[in-house]
Amino acid sequence: MFEKNPYGKLIAEYIQNTEYPKQPADLYDPIKYILSLSGKRIRPVLVLMGAKLFGKENLQEVVPASIAIEYFHNFSLIHDDIMDRAPLRRGKATVHQKWNDNVAILSGDALLVKAYQELGKSPSAHIPDLLSVFNKVALEVCEGQQYDMDFEKKSNVSEDDYLNMIKLKTSVLLGGALQMGAILANADQQQQELIYDFGVNLGISFQLQDDYLDVYGNPETFGKQVGGDILCNKKTILRIKTEQLLDEESKEEFQKLIDLDTIEDADKVSRMKNLYAKFEVDKYAEDIKSRYMELAYNKLDSIAVSEAQKAELRMLADTLMHRTR
């Protein structure tokens, strides 16, 4: 999606041209491996797009900050995969699976240090403000991950709690990436806050879309197992809303699907989807996703630059919201 555009190429070339020490191999090889898996690289692209939005011409000065965001994101993925015991990342073995947990922890730590090294290559006048945003966002991502783990032990999670969790775990990094680009383009504080809010609301909408696609996506284009969230009893917006609406008859069926591990996978997904359909939570999920998308566009509308300068971000948002995977 983004790898072939000018921003994606800048990021890919920088990563490909970065040299790492050969030893210790078990520290640096996992870093090279996780970065080689690429992914969409939405977050580092947003740093560059945030700078371009506010008229920054020399994007080479922005690349180190975008790489810092990419390094941080991949550091968090390495550690999240250990916590989730995930076997695959982007279709390939996760770092802890390919090496082991200890190697994954340490190489993830090293990648975080490298993120700060990259940030330090930014124009010196902007480094304090960049660090302030980066550190705030990085800590919030950790808070979001902790809330997500806490939810596994809670019998009931409210809709507000869930939305706050995905805001912290996923969305603030999108907002922070855009704000860091705005800082490097000398945007004032009000404009920085508007572009940050645009990114956060876009990120929440993006995650709600992901919840929806996990259940209703096309298996051929989604790229992941459809119904995976249902099979692992993940508390998504669809499940949370269904629990709020359950009648007495449906409560028994719902609890069976959550508690029994003897139900065939396809049967469990089908029966849970029947409950979702009964309470029309698919429509609710679509509606709430659209509300956050509208909030995002309202923030973008308020930014004091020309419509032509906003066109790329509008196109990006439209692409993310009409994706099938």
Q: What is the pLDDT of residue 84?
A: 87
Residues above pLDDT 90, as percent of the chain:
86
- pLDDT tens digits along 241-273: 999 999 999 999 999 999 998 999 999 999 999
Rounded to whole angstroms, the Cα distance separating 190 from 181 reads 14
- Give the helix/strand (H/E) hosting 302: helix 281-302
- Give the helix/strand (H/E) hosting 93: strand 92-93
Reported confidence tier of residue 55, pLDDT bands at 50, 70, 90: very high
- The answer to whether the beta carbons of residues 169 and 150 sit under 8 Å apart is no
- Is the pLDDT at 121 greater than 70? The verdict is yes
- What is the Cβ-side half-sphere exposure of residue 283, based on CA atoms within 13 angstroms? 5
Nearest to 240 by CA among 156, 171, 146, 148: 156
- Is the pLDDT at 66 greater than 60? The verdict is yes
Reported confidence tier of residue 14, pLDDT bands at 50, 70, 90: very high
Nearest to 293 by CA among 323, 272, 256: 323
Q: What is the pLDDT of residue 222?
A: 54
- Is the pLDDT at 221 greater than 70? The verdict is no
- The answer to whether the beta carbons of residues 279 and 241 sit under 8 Å apart is yes
Rounded mean pLDDT of 7-19? Answer: 95
Q: What is the pLDDT of residue 245?
A: 97
Largest distance between two CA atoms of the chain: 64
Angle between helices 42-53 and 307-321 (to 10 degrees): 160
Reported confidence tier of residue 217, pLDDT bands at 50, 70, 90: confident
Reported confidence tier of residue 170, pLDDT bands at 50, 70, 90: very high
The DSSP letter of residue 309 is: H
CA 134, distance to chain mean position in Å, is 15
- The answer to whether the beta carbons of residues 15 and 66 sit under 8 Å apart is no
State phi, psi for 225 to the nearest 5 degrees: -65, 120
- Is the pLDDT at 163 greater than 90? The verdict is yes
Here the tokens at position 201 are 């609301």
Residue 93 pairs with which residues in a beta bridge?
Answer: 88
Least confident among 90-94, 193-197, 209-213? 90-94
- Is the pLDDT at 181 greater than 80? The verdict is yes
CA 279, distance to chain mean position in Å, is 28
Q: What is the pLDDT of residue 325?
A: 54
Here the tokens at position 180 are 């860091």
Here the tokens at position 160 are 């507000």
The residue ranking higher by pLDDT, 165 or 221, is 165
**Which pTM value belongs to this model?**
0.94
Indicate the average pLDDT of the chain. 94
Rounded to whole angstroms, the Cα distance separating 171 from 201 reads 7
Nearest to 93 by CA among 78, 75, 114, 73: 78
- The answer to whether the beta carbons of residues 46 and 200 sit under 8 Å apart is no
Rounded to whole angstroms, the Cα distance separating 269 from 272 reads 5
Q: What is the pLDDT of residue 4?
A: 62
Rounded mean pLDDT of 174-194? Answer: 98
The DSSP letter of residue 155 is: S
Nearest to 86 by CA among 71, 98, 75, 73: 98
**Taking the CA atoms of the chain, what radius of gyration do you get in angstroms?**
20
Q: What is the pLDDT of residue 226?
A: 75
Here the tokens at position 69 are 């965001």
Burial 52-64 (b: 16+ CB within 10 A, else e): bbbebeebebbbb
